[in-house]
Chains A and B, each alone.
Chain A
Amino acid sequence: MAHAEGQQHPVGVVAHVEGQQHPIGIYLKIWGLLFVLSAASYFVDYFHVQGYLRWFLIVTFMLMKAGLIVAVFMHMLWERLALMYAILVPPLLLLVLLGIGALEADYTFFTRGTFFGPGTPAPVGQ
C-alpha cells in the first residue's frame, strides 16, 4: 500500500487540488472485507463461542474493521505523518482511563461483595 496516489497531483502549483483520488476497486474490496469481518464476528455469537476465545475473536475483528475504515475509507493511509500522529496518538491516552476504570470496578465489586453479599451482617449503626 505504499503507492501514494494522493501525491500524483502537481505539487506546489495551486494548493486547491488537494483531493484524494483512488480507483473505485479499492473501496469495493474494503467493503467486501468489512462484510466478511462483520459476518465472522456475528458467527462468534451465533455459534456460542465462549470464554477467552470469544473475547479474543471479537476484539480482533473489531480492531481489523476499525483499521480498514480509518485507513482506507477515511484515507488516513495516504495522509502525511503529521496528521496521522495528531489524530491517532492522543486516543492512546484512553488506555490510562481504561486501566483506572478496570481497577476501580474491581474494587467496587469487591466492596459490594463484602458489604452487600449474601450472609454478611447488616451494616452497623443502621
Chain B
Amino acid sequence: MSQPALTSAGEAVPLPEGLQGIVADWSSDQRAFKKVPWGKAMMWIFLLSDTFIFSAFLISYMNVRMSTTEPWPNPSEVFALTLFGKNIPLILIAIMTFILISSSGTMAMAVKFGYEKNKKMTFILLLITAALGASFVGMQAFEWTKLIQEGVRPWGNPMGAAQFGSAFFMITGFHGTHVSIGVIFLIIVAIKVLRGDLDRMTPGFLTGRKGNYEIVETMGLYWHFVDLVWVFIFALFYLW
C-alpha cells in the first residue's frame, strides 16, 4: 500500500523480457487483495483449491450413491452406539460435530487474543483447540476400528452397496488427515506464541518470514475450513 500501481508512468520504464519479464510482471508493485496480510490471502487461495478437492470427493460420492442398484447402508444405524444400555443413532458423529465446532469457537477467540498481544490467553486457547482436534481424530480412529471390525472395506461391506466403504474411507480419511495436520500446526503456533517469537518477529523455520500475530489468524482460517468441510460431510454423508 506504499504506492498506487504505476499505470501511465509505467510506460516510461523499460520492461524486462523472457523469464525475467514473467517474474517482473507478476511481482510488480500491484496488490489485488488490500487490507489483508499476504499470508492470509494466500491461505484463502489454498483453501479455495482444497474446496475443489473435497467437492470432487463429495460429488463422486453422490455419483456412486445415485448409480448403485444395491441398497445404501443406513448411516443412522451403521454409526449408532449403545450407551447406557440404549441404542442411540449417530451419537458418536454428533459428539464429533460438537467437538469440532467448539474447537472452531476457541480458535476464533485465540485469534482475537492474538491481535491483542495477550500471549497467555492465545496460548491456552490454541492448546484447547489442538486438544479438541486431537480428540476428534481419536474418535475417528475409534469409528474406523469399529467399522473395520464389522467388515466394512473399501471394496465391500455386509450392509449393502460396496461403494459405501470406498466413499467413507476416502472422505473421512482425507478430512482426518487435514485435522491431524492442523493439530500439529496448532501446537507449533502455540509454542511460537508462548516463546514470544511473534513479539520478537523471529523468522519462522519453514518460511523464514518474520513472526507476526497474523499467523494466528492464518492458522485459524485453515482450522475453520476443516470445520467447514466437516459441516458438509456431516450433512451429506452421515445425515442424507
Interface residues of B in 28-77 (CB under 8 A from A): 32-37, 41, 44-45, 47-48, 51-52, 55-56, 59-60, 62-69, 76
A80 CB–B CB distance under 8 Å: yes
B227 near A31: Cβ-Cβ < 8 Å: no
Q: How far is the CA of A66 from the CA of B62 in the complex (A)?
A: 19
Q: Given the complex, which residues of B lie within 8 Å of A87, measured CB to CB? A: 44-45, 47-48
Binding site for B on A (CB under 8 A): 6, 12, 15-16, 18-22, 24, 27-28, 30-31, 34-35, 38, 41-42, 44-46, 54-55, 58-59, 61-62, 65-66, 69-70, 72-75, 79-80, 82-83, 86-87, 90-91, 94, 97-98, 101-102, 104-106, 108-109, 112-113, 116-117
Q: Using Cβ atoms and an 8 Å threshold, which residues of chain B touch A70?
A: 224, 228
Asked if B63 and A104 sit within 8 Å, CB to CB, the answer is: yes
Q: Are A91 and B101 in contact (CB under 8 A)?
A: no
Does chain A have a CB within 8 A of B221? Answer: yes
**Quick check: A113 and B60 within 8 Å, CB to CB?**
no
State the CA gap A117–B225 with chains docked (Å): 42
Q: Among residues 52 to 110 in chain B, which have CB atoms less than 8 Å away from a CB atom of chain A?
A: 52, 55-56, 59-60, 62-69, 76, 89-90, 94, 97-98, 101-102, 104-105, 107-109
The size of the chain B interface, using a CB distance under 8 A, is: 63
Asked if B213 CB lies within 8 Å of chain A CBs, one says yes
B153 at the interface (CB under 8 A from A): no
Question: Which chain B residue shows the least CB distance to A44?
Answer: B239
Of the candidates A41, A73, A94, the one whose C-beta lies within 8 Å of that of B104 is: A73
* Pairs A-B, 8 closest by C-beta atoms: A105-B66, A31-B105, A62-B235, A108-B67, A19-B115, A105-B67, A101-B63, A27-B108
In contact, B231 and A66 (Cβ under 8 angstroms): yes
Specify which chain B residues have a CB less than 8 angstroms from the CB of A28 in the assembled complex: 105
Closest CB in chain B relative to A38 CB, distance in Å? 5
Closest Cβ of chain A to B234, distance in Å, is 7
Give per-residue flags for B201-230: 1 if the beta carbon is below 8 A from chain A beta carbons, else 0. Answer: 000000000001110010011001101100
Q: Which of B32, B55, B235 has the most CB of A within 10 A?
A: B235
